[in-house]
């Protein structure tokens, strides 16, 4: 992941909620949050594939882990 998320797109999405106050670095915080989520997803998926004694990560591993991580990310 070499590219950053486009700032204009993130700001336009966040400004659609007019009643929410948005800080100056909110777009950076969103990007960092997404990167942390993707890192956790990759680690958990690798562990799931290792449990099944698979050398490669398949789509079914990602689907199984993503449900659990999304519930955890909501709080």
Q: Are 8 and 44 in contact (CB under 8 A)?
A: no
Contacts of 14 (CB under 8 A, 6+ apart): 20, 22, 26, 27, 30
The predicted pLDDT at position 19 comes to: 80
Q: What is the mean pLDDT of residues 47-63?
A: 90
Domains plus CATH for the chain? 32-74 (1.10.20.10)
Tell whether the model's pLDDT for residue 11 goes beyond 80.
no
Tell whether the model's pLDDT for residue 52 goes beyond 70.
yes
The predicted pLDDT at position 16 comes to: 81
Global pTM reads 0.71
Q: What is the mean pLDDT of residues 33-57?
A: 90
Which pLDDT band, with edges at 50, 70 and 90, does 49 fall under? very high
């Amino acid at each position: 992941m070499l590219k950053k998320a486009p700032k204009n797109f993130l700001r336009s999405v966040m400004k659609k909620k007019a009643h929410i106050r948005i800080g100056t670095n909110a777009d950076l915080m969103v990007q960092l949050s997404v990167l942390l989520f993707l890192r956790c997803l990759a680690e958990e998926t690798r562990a799931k594939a290792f449990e099944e004694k698979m050398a490669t990560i398949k789509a079914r591993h990602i689907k199984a882990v993503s449900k659990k991580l999304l519930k955890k990310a909501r709080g």
